[in-house]
A and B are shown apart, each in its own frame.
Chain A
Amino acid sequence: MSEIKKKEGFADNLPERHRSGQFWSNLFRISTGVGIVALIALLLNITNSAFGYVAIENRIDPESLAINGIPLEQLHPIDLTYILKQNVSAGYFRNLENEMPFEQRTREEIYDLVIERVVEPEAASTWSLFDSLFHKSEIQAEVAEKYPNADLHFTSWINGNFLVSPQSANAERAGVRTAVLGSLWVIFITLLFAFPLGVGAAIYLEEYAGDLWINRLIQTNINNLAGVPSIIYGILGLAIFVRALEPVTSGAFLGTMDPTTANGRTILSAGLTLGLLILPLIIINAQEAIRAVPSSLRQASFGLGATKWQTIWHHVLPNSIPGILTGTILAISRALGETAPLVVVGASTFITFDPESPFSKFTALPIQIYQWTSRPQAEFRNIAAAAIIVLLMILLSLNAVAVVLRNKYSNKL
């Protein structure tokens, strides 16, 4: 190297330039690292609460309910009904009988009732995954001392039952069914409203709108709307859909009002509100996808004597639809995670019935998670963590679909 002479008029600063490059590259590596650590901490935190030991204490020891040495699990329905009658109030028993006579109920049903109403298992205490893995003996000692009758076992709070059970006041029996169905209904309305409107607006802005000041103003506003805090959309939705359009959003205009809702705090209102929220996102994404269609295709089409609409319908839309769908999916996953606007629009705090129409009361996954985390009992934090995992799974699968779509079509043109 030494024979390469320093050039006249240029400073000999190459090592210095390399050093400065090294500095920046290290800085970027650190920021990436911080991000990854934060992500891992988040995932660990959730898993930590979603799995772990739980000590179950029964009000009545099931063994004491054995008849003639036959354990509870194997008892005949008639014996189970007898146990139930002995242990619950006469009024409650009559209610059950009125709902459905016991002769017609299956053995499992009656057995579940006995467990739920007589044995009454309760989580006396729960432990995090970390404690369960690394302090097992301490936990066992603690249980032996504090809850001598309790049954200690390892549980996954996210399980089949959790996915299909409706909301309940009892954390062990509560599930995400109501919330997941609510979220799906709301998102369906959101999509129905925002997708055609957003794509239509994008086509207009990209293909038809001239370079007029009014169109530029609209474009600027759409870009700004995409950044408006979501709670503002909630307030807007409350004013428009819940209050002003109540006859429509409550279903009164169809005469199909849900008896449980006497106002516009319905799935329809929530869906439309989230639709407003993601409308700018869908428009901007669709515009980008439309802009990415090469102008040579448009020229080829016009050059053959196609009209503008034929060009849009046959070339612009088919070639931009993967991009439009990708953007829409990402917008939908944003809407799925939104909590604040739904609170403002009036998500129900406690419903156990499946939503049945756009005019039903609703709750949604993030709302459910928020409510569970704010409950004082520790078990609710465990099921909140389980619900977060459900939400994350839904979001991740949506994003995976978006990525697949993008990869599948990105190299087609």
Chain B
Amino acid sequence: MTENNINSYAIEAKDLNLYYGETLAVRDVNIQIEKQKITAMIGPSGCGKSTVLRAFNRMNDLIPSAHANGSVLYHGKNIYEEDVDPVEVRRRIGMVFQKPNPFPKSIYDNVAWGAQINGYTGNMDDLVEESLRGAALWNEVKDNLDKSGLSLSGGQQQRLCIARTIAVKPDIILMDEPASALDPIATLKIEDLMQELAKDFTIIVVTHNMQQAARVSNFTAFFNLGEDYAGVLEEYGVTAEIFTNPKKKTTEDYITGRFG
């Protein structure tokens, strides 16, 4: 995968259709994600936000029935082509999940493991510290690096998951409702962290919290259920634009809380 200078987007979906078995889950997605910006994906539940997000790093491959049609361009290359190794894709496009899922290992190992298996040759202690600092967790855990990652609070666990993701130095970080299992204070910390991270990474975040999307994102993609119950990308644009001046009626209804 070589850098394509013409293409200034971080990742791009073209005519992307996503299926579970015979069922079309998401229809015809065309979206271009800007580099080092935060893009929020909003929409009613079941409209396929997670499905689209997982399509960006081929996590859907883990679901036997799932398959994709169309292309996802990353550095100008369709990641669904035969010669692309999904393992490589996932190292470059990391993921943070809805429920914090640290490994039942020490805090140190949680961060170091991903780098280790990817063949990181630099100084591991430095990488762990750098990643934990990057995830705004270092000061809270620096004296307890050998404690289990599971002993942390939910918000700390989620930041630990972010730390281990940035430790493998991806380009893009996908976040699927990263704060929905957390209390409001932990949620705010994650939001601050996302803005910090956007200086180095491209972030795509699924959220069902409209205020969150409005607060943190630069761009917003509104997904909705089509009349055949397949998800569609209704509207996509600059967040301020979507929230103050939506082009479509359904978008307006959704963000003003009339359904969802």
Interface residue ranges, A against B (CB under 8 Å): 210-211, 294, 296-307, 310, 314-315, 319, 412-413
Contact = CB atoms under 8 A, between A and B. Distances in A.
B206 to A, nearest CB: 14
B101 A310 contact: no
Contact of B97 (A211, A300, A305, A310): A300
Contact of A305 (B87, B101, B102, B103): B87
Contacts of B57: 303
Nearest to A296: B101
A17 to B, nearest CB: 39
Given A303-B57, A304-B91, 19 more contacts: A211-B64, A296-B99, A296-B101, A297-B103, A297-B104, A298-B62, A299-B97, A300-B102, A300-B103, A303-B97, A304-B90, A304-B164, A305-B87, A305-B90, A305-B92, A310-B117, A314-B113, A314-B117, A412-B104
Nearest to B170: A305
Interface of B: 57, 59, 62, 64, 87-88, 90-92, 94-95, 97, 99, 101-104, 113-114, 117-118, 161, 164-165, 168
Contact of B101 (A210, A299, A314): A299
Given A211-B64, A413-B104, A304 B165 contact: yes
A369 to B, nearest CB: 44
A161 B168 CA distance: 64
Contacts of B90: 302-305
A366 B90 CA distance: 56
A304 B113 contact: yes
A380 to B, nearest CB: 53
Q: Which 9 A-B pairs have the closest CB atoms?
A: A305-B91, A304-B114, A296-B101, A303-B95, A305-B90, A300-B101, A310-B117, A306-B117, A307-B87
Contacts of A307: 87, 117
Contact of B59 (A296, A303, A314): A303
Given A298-B62, A310-B117, A304 B94 contact: yes
Nearest to B161: A300
A310 B114 CA distance: 10
Given A296-B99, A298-B62, A299-B97, A305 B104 contact: no
Nearest to A301: B103
A303 B165 contact: yes
A79 to B, nearest CB: 72
A302 to B, nearest CB: 6
A303 B95 CA distance: 6
A211 B118 CA distance: 30
